[in-house]
Chain A
Amino acid sequence: GAVVSQHPSRVICKSGTSVKIECRSLDFQATTMFWYRQFPKQSLMLMATSNEGSKATYEQGVEKDKFLINHASLTLSTLTVTSAHPEDSSFYICSARRQENSPLHFGNGTRLTVT
């Protein structure tokens, strides 16, 4: 089955620092990658949609200058949380799909704690 790798799985950082999260599709080329955030006991919230070689499309309310997304290749997307604050502490999950009507395959998620 399709495999999406996400690193790191867990990170603790100090307020004001930046954190980079990597998402790789290991055995398929992903035309589109998605970044989600999930707070405890809440639904998945789409943050942005990323297509290889073009700028990410951010959902309403998501600051593009704070959550930098780079989709450098068909197998790699990165999310950088800049100047992190405690309220950014959350579970960040990436996902990828081969084409529009293909299933989304998720990475294992990154649990970010900002102290």
Chain B
Amino acid sequence: GQNIDQPTEMTATEGAIVQINCTYQTSGFNGLFWYQQHAGEAPTFLSYNVLDGLEEKGRFSSFLSRSKGYSYLLLKELQMKDSASYLCAPLDSNYQLIWGAGTKLIIKP
């Protein structure tokens, strides 16, 4: 079957760094997306990894290891507005996005 595993909730301090881990099992693999979703809003695209390694985009970086079925999203210099849910979504062999429940990130001052 297809499965996504992310922590349900994480708490971090403003200005700090946080790493949100994701492990996945899919039927085939065509890359992995990370999305941010604020409460009551639609998701917004953050990053896409298809090859192993780290992709950096400003304060956010995303890492992928295909052999381990593992990805993480790294958020630096945390701001209060980063409080949101972060969704890890791999793309399977049929190019269908598989959605997990996401990780709710709470930022404290």
Report how far A93 CA is from B30 CA in the complex, Å. 23
Interface SS majority for chain B: loop
Say whether, besides A43-B100, A43-B102, A100 and B45 are in contact (CB < 8 Å).
no
Q: Are B95 and A100 in contact (CB under 8 A)?
A: yes
| Nearest CB in chain A: distance from B24 CB, A | 14
- The chain B residue sitting closest to A102, CB to CB, is B48
| Nearest CB in chain B: distance from A19 CB, A | 18
B54 lies within 8 A of chain A by Cβ: no
| Nearest CB in chain B: distance from A34 CB, A | 8
Say whether, besides A101-B91, A101-B95, A44 and B48 are in contact (CB < 8 Å).
no
Interface members, chain A 68-111 (any B CB < 8 Å): 91, 93, 100-101, 103-109
Number of contacting residues on A, CB 8 A? 17
Report how far A46 CA is from B98 CA in the complex, Å. 10
Q: Are B44 and A43 in contact (CB under 8 A)?
A: no
| Nearest CB in chain A: distance from B35 CB, A | 8
Say whether, besides A43-B99, A43-B101, A43-B102, A101 and B42 are in contact (CB < 8 Å).
no
Residue from B42, B45, B96, B102 in contact with A103 in the complex, judged by beta carbons closer than 8 Å: B45
- Most B Cβ at <10 Å: residue of A42, A49, A104: A104
Report how far A96 CA is from B6 CA in the complex, Å. 25
- Most B Cβ at <10 Å: residue of A91, A105, A106: A106
The 3 closest A-B pairs by CB, nearest first: A100-B95, A106-B42, A109-B42
Residues of B within 8 A of A (CB): 30-31, 33, 40-45, 48, 50, 87, 91, 95-97, 99-102
